[in-house]
Structure 1
Amino acid sequence: MQVVLLAAGQSSRFYPFNKEHKSLISVMGKSIIVHTIESINKKSGIEKFLIVTDPKNEARQILGDGSDLGVKVEYVILEKPTGMGDALLAAEKKIFDNFFLVHSYHVDFPEIVENFDLENPSDSTLFIKKEKDITGFGIVTLDGKSVTSVVEKPENSSSLSDNKIVGIYFLKKDFIPTLKKIKPEHYSFEKALDEYAKQGKLKAEVIKSDTVTLKYPWDLLGLKNYLLSHAKKSISLKASISDSAKLEGLIIVEDGAVISDNSIIKGPCFIGKNVFVGTNSLVRDGSCLEENVKVGAFMEIKNSLVMEGTTFHSGYLGDSLIGKDCKIGSQFNTANVRLDRGNVRVLVNDKKIDTGMKYLGGIVGNDVLVGGNVSVMPGVIVGDNVNIGPSTTVMKNIPPNTVFYTKFKEHVEKSRK
């Protein structure tokens, strides 16, 4: 059996972290695609992986031939990311067996296939979950376990079905001829599934566990929390931890990390290689500090992902995402909840998206420079290579490659005394 992993294309919805494929982002010291391969291999024993990627093929730099992970990895280059159908047809010549087709962020593969017969699968199967709100997802209609139709993102999905496709498919090789008969377009894969279902060849497996998705950047928080919930406590002997520091709960501390005097780490948390946590700082509740992150004194970080090489002084970071190589001044604060306690809404592609989250702070891209005393409001996105001046409150999204600051008017007059 083989696994075809989809790792091509850039998603405008994933801005500002869409310069590389989202599965290449590092969480807990490994790229997401590595977590996915490891989880699939551990659960199923499958060793053959086919990665469909774009011409840059950055996945190869991370995975190589797969030998470091105990698997065999091959690559298929998709010149233009025009949909799952084209991706699968590009891989056709290297598909020699029945196969799983998996989005490369599905680190939760083991839970999704928990009740599926991996040893002797008899039918092509897609995995579905019943949801109240399935806006923006493909859906299926069923007759028992048999799929009767597949519809990709219908305008009025609630009237058709509440069965959401979760993005993992087990397909027999005879699905390929059906796909080849469909006119090439963005949703040719879904149309082929629909035709395949009408031939009586497609079953559905209903899952009950929550699933990982990675449609928007804030979904990284859920993926991070999933990985932390499945991690084991590990404190490197090559880390330097002050005697006055307190570590509570499930915590991973990697080589070269420094945790300074009176700092508190409340798990679950991940402290990556060569991370520095300054004096009297608090890191808590699902925070991940990736390699070479520096946190100054008197900083609090809660349920946030901070990517490689970013530095802070002091302040509060809550329920936020911070990109690579940012330099952030003192008293940086993210507001992470609306005053009316409603769901945080984020402007994506000129459309306000309801995140469904009561708590969400800032989303900051790579190479951002931030002056002192800056505040970022809930759900605000800051693009790459932005300079934010001191004493600025960021109330709206900032486009990349810009300078953003609040103007102050000086007033000087002679004292009346």
Structure 2
Amino acid sequence: GTADAAGLAKAHIDEDFLLIYGDLVVSPDIIKKVIHSHEEEEPTATMAVTRVEDPGQYGIVNLDDSYITDIIEKPSPSEAPTNLANAGIYVLSPEIFEKIEQTPASQREEREITDSLQLLINDKKSILAVQVPSRGWLDVGRPWDLLEANRRILNGMEPRLDGEIEDGTHLIGGIVVAAGARIRSGAYLEGPVYIDKNSDIGPNCYIRPHTTIGKEVRVGNGCEIKNSIIMDKAHIGHLSYVGDSIIGADCNLGAGTTVANLRLDDKTVKMKVADEVLETGRRKLGVVLGDGVKTGINTLFMPGVKAGHNSWIGPNLVISRDVSPDSFLLLKQELAERGKKN
């Protein structure tokens, strides 16, 4: 758990220190604000908090003035004292290590840093809450949150063209083409777009805004990619469409693979996460593929589908449900052959 992870640093720390959860996208200004508030008020610990619409998804704090009196993990609507959520950014004193050692395991059989902080609160130690704006903070806890994180990061990106740009390409908006990457003739790139080292794009591709393409990716002729994350060494076969999707490393999409990202009834897309079907709140959401997924030609994915790592999906299949890792899906069909009538 988070407390165990923090406790590993004990031998290396003899002063107040910054701790940030690894699944956050946070602006530098927010981090500076938390540090400044801690230095100014000199509490035992400082926690960033932010207002959220659904307190039941977060650890919620109760306050006395600006100081935390209680931390309630994922409360029901009737139990939530506020809508101020733990933002996962702390400044802690070395006192926390003693409380980490005293922290019991949670229901998840993990030791949580919030439980260690609650022990400090129980000892009448001061835990300062610093409210930070949600626009500079994002909790990346669910698959589709990666697309929002990608959007925010690309919006703040500085354009740079270090790779090979062939004649006949069109580049519009903020675009990064890293060294060793190649954009072939006829490609149309509409930023913000990031293309990493040694990737090969085109010819005649349309790469639309908020697309990140990793290292050594091959995008074949006539493909369209929009608002997606394509991870290292993936191959998008010619004449494919990928929208609002996450494609894992080493995936190989056969020619004509199509991702549907919009429901026919125009309702928001749902996705299954840990055996629970969740409302994503997104009108457009495509597919999430684990590493090493392969598809045959003309595979069609319906909105909100996931395919587990190293799964193989045969040609001409319509995938309307999640695919298990290490599985092989094939289409069964019957062929009838007969002579031609005169």
TM above 0.5, one fold? yes
1:351-401 alpha-carbon deviations (Å, 9 max, x no partner): 112222221100111112211111111111111111111111111111111
Q: Within 2, Cα distance between the matches of 1:158 and 1:191?
A: 18
1:155-194 superposed matches below 5 A: 155-156=76-77, 159-185=80-106, 186-194=110-118
Q: Which residue of 2 aligns with 1:63?
A: none
RMSD (Å) for aligned C-alpha atoms:
1.9
Q: Is the 8 A contact 2:103 2:111 kept in 1?
A: no
Q: Which residue of 2 aligns with 1:345?
A: 270
Instruction: Give 1:384's aligned amino acid.
Output: H
- The worse-fitting range, judged by mean Cα deviation, of 304-313 and 347-356 is 347-356
Q: Is the 8 A contact 1:276 1:292 kept in 2?
A: yes
Q: Is the 8 A contact 2:34 2:46 kept in 1?
A: no
Q: TM-score if structure 2 supplies the norm length?
A: 0.91
Higher Rg: 2
Q: Is the 8 A contact 1:263 1:277 kept in 2?
A: yes
Q: 1:117 to 1:191 in 2, by over 3 A?
A: closer
Out of 14, 26, 29, which is 1:96 matched to? 14
Out of 112, 120, 141, which is 2:62 matched to? 141
Q: Is the 8 A contact 2:35 2:91 kept in 1?
A: no
- Report runs of 4+ in structure 1 exceeding 4 Å deviation: none
Q: Which residue of 2 aligns with 1:230?
A: 156
- In structure 2, the residue corresponding to 1:176 is in which secondary structure? helix
1:70-110 alpha-carbon deviations (Å, 9 max, x no partner): xxxxxxxxxxxxx1122222322222111111112434251
Q: Which residue of 1 aligns with 2:53?
A: 132
Q: Within 2, Cα distance between the matches of 1:233 and 1:397?
A: 37
Quote how far apart the aligned CAs of 1:257 are. Answer: 1.2
Quote how far apart the aligned CAs of 1:187 are. Answer: 4.6
Q: Which residue of 1 aligns with 2:291?
A: 366
Say if 2:75 is the partner of 1:150.
no
Q: 1:268 to 1:255 in 2, by over 3 A?
A: same
Say if 2:230 is the partner of 1:306.
yes
- In structure 1, the residue corresponding to 2:4 is in which secondary structure? helix
Instruction: Give 2:206's aligned amino acid.
Output: L
Q: Within 2, Cα distance between the matches of 1:106 and 1:409?
A: 51
1:7-406 superposed matches below 5 A: 83-118=1-36, 120-121=39-40, 122-123=42-43, 124-156=45-77, 159-185=80-106, 186-198=110-122, 199-210=124-135, 211-236=137-162, 239-312=163-236, 313-406=238-331
1:152-193 alpha-carbon deviations (Å, 9 max, x no partner): 222446642211111111112223323333334425422222
Q: Is the 8 A contact 2:103 2:116 kept in 1?
A: yes
- In structure 1, the residue corresponding to 2:282 is in which secondary structure? coil
1:271-308 alpha-carbon deviations (Å, 9 max, x no partner): 11111111211001100110111111110000000011
Q: Within 2, Cα distance between the matches of 1:266 and 1:354?
A: 30
Structure 2: where are the runs of 5+ without partners?
A: none
- The worse-fitting range, judged by mean Cα deviation, of 98-107 and 368-377 is 98-107
